[in-house]
Chain A
């Protein structure tokens, strides 16, 4: 059984923080928003002269407002959110490439059908719907004579 990236993320989700779960759920719920934008950003804080971090947040725009969801400092959790974003953002590209592929195959199929029609006509056959007709008249003359005998 193939193991999809979605499955992998679900498995990893069992061991991650609730903040990360909520962020991933939000990405799936608002896939139309996150398919075009959104990113995981890092930031650092200073405490008594020490640099702490990185801390991660999911940054995105909702309408005219810039929003962000705090993810904590867990690097694995941040990676999961990044992967989920990538999946959602790849979907439009995937759809486009499949649709272009289908269009190209259909166009090639039309060309082949025209070619086939000409070749069938040359041997006395014709396409009728999806069927090929005219087999009786396409038989070699010797067979027709044998049949008459």
Chain B
């Protein structure tokens, strides 16, 4: 990549394979791409790739997607503080973004708490809620 003609985008980073098709990953600013790779990638590996398909994995995907949204919102707010003025309109827009970020963080907190509770439930009962065994992928005592 020609860094002279693409300063804001920075050097190319490897596109994560879990990134949806419609996302122009290379078009994202380099520091945002770095944030996605540094924060979201490890979470994806731990919460999605290392779990069995089903309830736990879907919860893991939810947490990863909320984390991804959180990184996007934080990035936007950070840039706004540097580049926008202190007019009432700009301030109102920033406040709306901060509220949006807090909602995302709260939702991620709830999803993470559910994830922990699932782990705890399985430790105590040996199966997931409803008697669902993610290893055997069947309900305990279903026969």
Contact = CB atoms under 8 A, between A and B. Distances in A.
User: Do A and B bind?
Assistant: yes
Interface of A: 2, 5-6, 83, 86-87, 90-91, 93-94, 96-98, 100-109, 112-113, 115-116, 119-120, 122-125, 130-132, 135, 138-141, 143
B125 interface: yes
Given A100-B22, A104-B22, A140-B125, A116 B106 contact: no
Interface residues of B, number: 44
B127 interface: yes
Contacts of A87: 7-8
B28 A109 contact: no
Contact of B58 (A107, A116, A130, A143): A116
A11 to B, nearest CB: 14
B68 A105 contact: yes
Contacts of B59: 116
| Chain A interface, DSSP helix/strand/loop, else mixed | helix
A119 B58 contact: yes
B130 A125 contact: yes
B24 A108 contact: no
Contacts of A101: 23-24, 28, 72
| Chain B interface, DSSP helix/strand/loop, else mixed | helix
Interface in B39-64: 54-55, 58-59, 61-62
B27 A123 contact: no
Given A112-B61, A140-B140, A141-B131, A123 B55 contact: yes
A100 B24 contact: yes
24 contacts: A5-B7, A5-B8, A83-B7, A86-B8, A87-B7, A87-B8, A90-B6, A90-B9, A97-B24, A98-B28, A101-B23, A103-B22, A104-B23, A112-B65, A115-B58, A119-B54, A122-B132, A123-B130, A130-B107, A135-B129, A139-B125, A139-B129, A141-B131, A143-B125
A116 B22 contact: no
Contacts of A143: 125
B110 interface: yes
Nearest to A129: B110
A141 B141 contact: yes
Contact of A109 (B31, B65, B121): B65
Nearest to A79: B4
B62 A116 contact: yes
Contacts of A109: 62, 65-66, 69
A107 B69 CA distance: 11
Contact of A124 (B68, B129, B140): B129
**Could you say which of B5, B8, B29, B140 has the most chain A C-beta atoms within 10 Å of its C-beta?**
B8
A110 B39 CA distance: 21
A44 to B, nearest CB: 23
